[in-house]
């Protein structure tokens, strides 16, 4: 997988952790609501969810959220709050070192 390769090349543990979580069966992947992201993230922070982001709750903080999958309403709410919803692969390309990225879920 691309994440493990990046982990080895860049010597960054976060991508290996995300890759390990994504290798689990679909039923064991993390599911995170926007209310939890809003509770634990700070403004302008980058969050990785190795699973699905659901739209339950509100997001009041401007954050970049990378996830394996988003519900349609969750993407809309993230954009309304001024944040970005991107794929984990996009985040890997933008930030191969994984600087200032937090896993949530």
Task: Write the DSSP string, 58-85.
Answer: ---S--EEEEEEE-HHHHHHHHHTT-EE
Structural domain containing residue 47: 2-103
Mean pLDDT, the chain, integer: 93
**CATH code, 96:** 3.100.10.10
73 contacts: CB under 8 Å, gap ≥ 6: 55
Supply the pTM of this predicted model: 0.91
- Model confidence at 76, in pLDDT bands (50, 70, 90)? very high
- Model confidence at 1, in pLDDT bands (50, 70, 90)? low
The structural domain count of the chain equals 1
pLDDT digits (tens, 9 = 90+) for 7-20: 888 888 999 999 99
Cβ proximity of 76 and 30 under 8 Å: no
């Amino acid at each position: 997988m691309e994440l493990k390769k990046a982990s080895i090349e860049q010597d960054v543990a976060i991508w290996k952790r995300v890759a390990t979580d994504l290798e689990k069966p679909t039923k064991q992947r993390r599911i995170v609501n926007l209310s939890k992201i809003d509770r634990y993230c700070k403004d302008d922070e980058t969050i990785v969810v190795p699973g699905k982001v659901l739209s339950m709750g509100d997001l009041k903080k401007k954050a970049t959220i990378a996830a394996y999958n988003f519900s349609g309403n969750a993407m809309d709410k993230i954009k309304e709050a001024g944040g970005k919803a991107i794929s984990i692969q996009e985040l890997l390309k933008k930030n191969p070192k994984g600087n200032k990225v937090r896993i949530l879920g």
